[in-house]
Amino acid sequence: MGAQRIEVAHTQYYGWALRNRAALLPSREQARAAHEAIGQARERHSEHIAIDYVAPDYLGRYPKPCMNGWGQRSMNVAPDGTALPCHAAATIPGLVFWNVRQRPLAEIWQASPAFEAYRGTDWMRKPCVSCPRRETDFGGCRCQALAITGDARNTDPVCHLSEHRHLIDAMLSEPAQPILQRGHP
């Protein structure tokens, strides 16, 4: 079809995926097999297509640099014109989002309260605030911190330095479950 780049990503555990994490989380062996398969596919198709791979961060020691840092590089515009720092940002209560129908993109990027909320490192708490990786992973994912610890300002619990890492480890040890569907809990 002429594509030059594809991305293969493991599930991100938000919303229904978080509810269904016990069915969707790969084992370490499954994740290793996926990593090897992607490596082989990259070698086979390297002349024609780039293959990005997003590993399951629950199995790592550090979180992903979500959106390459909040308000650093990306803006999502919802169908109603709401400008979001990430596709799931509206799950965080208390953020004020500006709309492209009312303000220019540049103004939204530079001054929107939602983009300013977690941009840079000033918002960080311990251990992120003094961590040498704070401008590498930006403390991980705000939505994941909220979903699992109850506070978007916390360190992403995937990080092994987070006081909430035990919550991720507990999920990893949950036995596999059938997937729930909306309306059929």
Nearer to ligand SF4 by Cβ, of 51 and 131: the residue is: 131
User: Would you report the helix, strand and coil content of the chain in percent, each value rounded to 5?
Assistant: 35, 10, 55
Q: Which stretch binds ligand SF4 (CB under 6 A): 67-75, 76-84, 100-108, 130-138?
A: 130-138
Interface residue with ligand SF4 among 26, 60, 120, 127 (CB under 6 A) is 127
Q: Which stretch binds ligand SF4 (CB under 6 A): 6-14, 110-118, 156-164, 170-178?
A: 156-164
Strands 76-77 and 83-84, sheet pairing: antiparallel
Structure tokens at 182: 């909306």
Which residue, chain included where needed, has tokens 């959106």?
67
Structure tokens at 167: 């919550």
Interface residue with ligand SF4 among 131, 149, 164, 171 (CB under 6 A) is 131
Residues 59-118 interacting with ligand SF4 (rule: CB under 6 A): 62-63
Interface residue with ligand SF4 among 133, 153, 164, 165 (CB under 6 A) is 133
Q: Rounded CA gap, 31 and 34, in Å?
A: 5
Question: 41 in helix, strand or coil?
Answer: helix
Q: Rounded CA gap, 164 and 144, in Å?
A: 12
By CB under 6 A, name the binding residues for ligand SF4: 62-63, 127-128, 131, 133-134, 137, 139-140, 155-156, 159, 161
